[in-house]
Structure 1
Amino acid sequence: MIFKKNKKFTNNCPTGIIRIIGGMWRGSKILVPNRTALRPTPNRVRETLFNWLAPFIRGAHCLDCFAGSGALGIEALSRAAASVTLIEQDRLISQQLLNKLQLLQTKQAQVITTDTNLWLAHSSDANKFDIVFIDPPFNQGMISKTVAFLEYYNHLAKKSWIYIETEKKGTYSIPINWKIYKEKVAGKVAYRLYLRT
């Protein structure tokens, strides 16, 4: 993962930089605020994930549940996803996402500043998502509840793809109708792509 120090940031907060690795915005930089819980998906993991998703990403409606840097959601847009909803509760990070999307001049993304599970429980959005990214802060036990809310509140398309990234020994529960399509481990990160059938 390309992650360089950069001191040009509001409130004198140091940042890092990551790059989009494929699609129409390939090479585009994303500033990443210096936050303890912020852990952008490494380049090699992102590349593998989007190779898995390549047959399904074009025209897909995507949800990035814990957007953070926005690397997953913006990468999806770069590779011709129809839309991306990015949920991020940290206001500083959320503003950075908005700034980046404005620079990219895209109208296919929306940033929602709130708690992910609160939004899942109360959203009246009738849109069903084809691809969902779940990459929360590690070691906080957030995945099982998010998975349950996605199903219970009917946010998923009939056939959808769900990406989950967690610590290597992380555990969580999934519905019986989610089947593992691909999975890998890279260092301390375990990542899996599920197909909802």
Structure 2
Amino acid sequence: MKKNARKQNAVTSKNAKLRIIGGDWRSRQLPIPEVEGLRPTPDRVRETVFNWLNFDVAGAHCADLFCGTGALGLEALSRGAASCTFVDANRSASQQLKNNLNTLNATNGEVHFTNALSYLDQENSRPLDIVFLDPPFRKGWLEQILPLLEEKKWLAQKALIYIERESENSPNFPSHWRLLKEKSAGQLTYALYERQAN
């Protein structure tokens, strides 16, 4: 998560760890690469998000776009998601995430080292039930990503979309997306939407 400019410029400590907070891998700690601006979504926020998702995670096909450490997708897999596709354009983050999936013996997670826009700008073979979106702030990513999710038919009919964004920016969400939950903490707003039939 990238809350502000100061934190975006921070470099993750060599000894930094990601702790999974629930599910089969609860309390497992995994290394995080030393990458500028790379921070997992905090435990408190993740706990809130997965309370929101509640029973929707088990059996779901997920994608963690701009995944960074993969905190959200790993949490989903730990809690019974059928699969998760991780997408990130940072080579070190992608490689560490592959290593962490191997450490966990997770065969239902796949990592794509690529730009999220490039990944979404292709035909998909299976609609996603849950999408996690935590792009870098103030780069205009959401305005480009949200239309692609619909145009390329990435979403299942009742898909859930979790989004982290800067509080001062509210992009144009598709009219058939219903806001289920939303919270703000300083410059961060995080929310859960449900896609309705259109």
Q: Report if TM-score (shorter chain) is over 0.5.
A: yes
Q: Which amino acid aligns with 1:110?
A: E
Q: Give the conservation status (yes or no) of the 8 Å contact 2:35–2:92.
A: no
Q: Which amino acid aligns with 2:155?
A: L
User: Larger deviation: 183-192 or 146-155?
Assistant: 183-192
Q: Which amino acid aligns with 1:190?
A: T
Give how far 1:160 is off.
0.5
Residue equivalent to 1:128: 127
Q: Which amino acid aligns with 1:185?
A: S
Q: Which amino acid aligns with 2:114?
A: T
Give how far 1:186 is off.
2.3
**Structure 1 residue ranges, 4+ long, deviating more than 6 angstroms after superposition:** none
CA distance in 1 between partners of 2:139 and 2:89 (Å): 15
CA distance in 2 between partners of 1:84 and 1:54 (Å): 17
How do 1:1-197 residues align onto structure 2 when only pairs under 5 Å count?
14-122=14-122, 124-197=123-196
Give how far 1:14 is off.
2.5
CA distance in 2 between partners of 1:89 and 1:34 (Å): 15
CA distance in 2 between partners of 1:56 and 1:173 (Å): 25
Unmatched segments (≥5 aa) in structure 1? 2-12
CA distance in 1 between partners of 2:172 and 2:20 (Å): 31
Residue equivalent to 1:6: none
Give how far 1:15 is off.
4.7
Q: Give the conservation status (yes or no) of the 8 Å contact 1:73–1:86.
A: yes
Q: Give the conservation status (yes or no) of the 8 Å contact 1:37–1:137.
A: no
Give how far 1:194 is off.
0.2
Residue equivalent to 1:7: none
Q: Which amino acid aligns with 1:79?
A: R
Count of paired positions: 185
Q: Deviations over 1:150-171 (max 9, x none)?
A: 1110000011000000122232
Unmatched segments (≥5 aa) in structure 2? 2-12
Give how far 1:21 is off.
0.5
Q: Give the conservation status (yes or no) of the 8 Å contact 2:124–2:153.
A: no
CA distance in 1 between partners of 2:34 and 2:15 (Å): 5
Give how far 1:187 is off.
3.3
Q: Which amino acid aligns with 1:24?
A: D
SS class of match (1:33): coil
